[in-house]
């Protein structure tokens, strides 16, 4: 054994995990800075961009992640109390919640890609009917220059040279995409954890991986707690 006591070993592993989590916060800090700068300088861009996001989907995902955070914390308790069945169930529920999160995210992404609400210069809405309803009302009387169609005028207004919604969606896809990758990594970790728990690897004195993966999962939840209102709610 490399440590004086199991307690020492546990605390050292945990310290390493916390250093990693601190780094995660700084990692996302760059994206939060990009968000703040764009939002600070282009309020309209965010106001219009938000019409494309559905707060009900974002809200549902928030609840799903909060619930999974609870089951993740619960799995640590089960490991500590040597409740093997409870451990397996809580790990499975946490994984299922992560999968639900990604499925909802998939619907959100595919809809945006379908209507052409995507990043940078690729932002180009295909047809007026596919705009979100409040935006259709807002833009129904947009002046259409000679020789242009209504949707071209709308794209001129919303896209490059106009409000620059391509930048909004670049920020949106970067932030939620990087967060989504973290969720996928978490799902992988929970599969690994499930297999190890199935084999009965954990007991009240040895459950570091359950604890550290739960910590990782909580930071993923914590970042979403900020992403949700910043992107979906305050336009």
Contacts with another protein, residue ranges (CB under 8 A): 6-7, 10-11, 14-15, 18-19, 21-23, 25-26, 28-29, 32-33, 36-37, 40-41, 55, 59, 62-63, 66-67, 69-70, 72-74, 76-77, 80-82, 204-205, 207, 211, 214-215, 218-219, 221-222, 225-226, 228-230, 233-234
- Dihedral, 104, 122, 171, 54 alpha carbons, nearest 10: -40
Q: From CA 14, how far away is CA 64, in angstroms rounded?
A: 26
- Cβ 178 to another protein shortest distance, Å: 15
Tokens 């968000």, residue located: 35
Tokens 């300088």, residue located: 41
Nearer to another protein, 37 or 113 (CB): 37
Nearer to another protein, 23 or 140 (CB): 23
Nearer to another protein, 63 or 195 (CB): 63
For helices 165-198 and 208-227, the axis angle rounded to 10 degrees is 160
Burial of 45 (0-12, 13-18, 19+ CB in 10 A): buried
- Cβ 99 to another protein shortest distance, Å: 19
Nearer to another protein, 78 or 117 (CB): 78
Nearer to another protein, 33 or 140 (CB): 33
What is the DSSP annotation of 123-160? Answer: -----GGGS-HHHHHHHTT----TT--HHHHHHHHHST
Q: From CA 40, how far away is CA 52, in angstroms rounded?
A: 20
Tell me which H or E stretch contains 51. Answer: none
- Cβ 73 to another protein shortest distance, Å: 4
The gap from C-alpha 69 to its chain's centroid, in whole angstroms, comes to 14
- Cβ 229 to another protein shortest distance, Å: 4
- Cβ 165 to another protein shortest distance, Å: 19
Nearer to another protein, 188 or 229 (CB): 229
- Cβ 107 to another protein shortest distance, Å: 19
């Amino acid at each position: 054994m490399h440590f004086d006591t199991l307690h020492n070993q546990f605390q050292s592993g945990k310290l390493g995990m916390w250093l990693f989590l601190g780094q995660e916060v700084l990692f996302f800090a760059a994206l939060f800075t990009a968000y703040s700068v764009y939002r600070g300088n282009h309020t309209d861009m965010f106001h219009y961009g938000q019409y494309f996001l559905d707060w009900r989907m974002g809200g549902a995902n928030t609840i799903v992640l909060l619930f999974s955070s609870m089951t993740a914390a619960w799995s640590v308790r089960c490991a500590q109390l040597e409740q093997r069945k409870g451990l397996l169930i809580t790990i499975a529920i946490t994984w299922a919640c992560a999968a639900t999160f990604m499925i909802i995210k998939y619907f959100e992404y595919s809809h945006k890609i379908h209507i052409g609400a995507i990043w940078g210069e690729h932002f180009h809405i295909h047809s007026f009917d596919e705009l979100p309803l409040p935006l259709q009302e807002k833009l129904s009387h947009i002046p259409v220059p000679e020789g242009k169609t209504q949707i071209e005028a709308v794209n001129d207004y919303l896209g490059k040279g106009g409000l620059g919604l391509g930048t909004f969606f670049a920020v949106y896809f970067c932030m939620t995409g990087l967060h989504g990758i973290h969720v996928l990594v978490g799902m992988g970790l929970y599969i690994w954890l499930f297999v190890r728990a199935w084999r009965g690897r954990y007991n009240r004195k040895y459950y570091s991986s359950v604890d550290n993966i739960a910590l990782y999962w909580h930071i993923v939840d914590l970042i979403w707690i900020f992403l949700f209102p910043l992107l979906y709610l305050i336009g």
